[in-house]
Amino acid sequence: MSLSHAFFAIIRRDLLLALRKRSEIANPLLFFVLVITLFPLGIGARPQLLQAIAPGIIWVSALLAAMLSLDSLFRSDFDDGSLEQIVLSPHPTSVLVLAKIIAHWLVTGLPLLLMAPLLAVFLGMPQSAIGMLLLTLLLGTPVLSLIGAIGVALTVGLRRGGMLLSLLVLPLYVPVLIFAGNAVEMASNGLPVTAQINILMAILLMSLALAPWPTAAALKMSIS
């Protein structure tokens, strides 16, 4: 099997497994929706305040939902031995790991992206900012999966690595949260956001180029 066939075979396999275990798709999405809908109940009838903090609410909720789904990235493969076969494959482990990360984003990040416009309207976000919100989510949520994969690879061999995983990846998520939230806020005020979008694009490209390598190395250490 060629490298490209192996790459797309892993994506197809993970998508099929996710469809059989629909909780992997539903749990992060339900968490995302519930967290956002609870904010108006806690704050009260303050539409101007909700509109002002809507970008931060949506992005923090997306970040937490992404973290909720991280453990499923390699856990099932580690438990059934499939992860060892990926590491022992003649193909570069980093490329196969990238396929798994893409599949993870399609299962978890893409549903959040599709649900975000409805929740933005629910929070009273102006129409001019919703498009920018979608763009930041499109650029930022893959970064969450790429960076999170490194933390999962380091902790997959631990029985209770959830707390350690949070400590590892949360500080690395902060730049994405800051620039994405600021871009949406500035777009809602009619200000230029070129700098923030360029920074998010740079973070995404750097994550795509660099994250698979330490993830593959960490997986090899975890199963050895």
Q: Whole-angstrom Cα distance, residue 216 to residue 213?
A: 5
Decide if pLDDT at 41 tops 70.
Answer: yes
User: Which residues make Cβ contacts (< 8 Å) with residue 166, sequence separation at least 6?
Assistant: 67
What integer pLDDT is reported at residue 1 of this predicted model?
66
Decide if pLDDT at 26 tops 80.
Answer: yes
pLDDT per position as a tens digit, 161-205: 667 788 888 899 999 999 999 999 888 888 889 999 999 999 999
Confidence of residue 2 (pLDDT cuts 50, 70, 90): confident
In this prediction the pTM is: 0.90
Please, what is the angle between helix 23-43 and helix 110-122, to 10°? 20
Q: What are phi and psi of 54, to 5 degrees?
A: -55, -45
For residues 68-79, average pLDDT: 82
Domain map of the chain by residue range? 3-223
For residues 77-100, average pLDDT: 87
What integer pLDDT is reported at residue 161 of this predicted model?
63
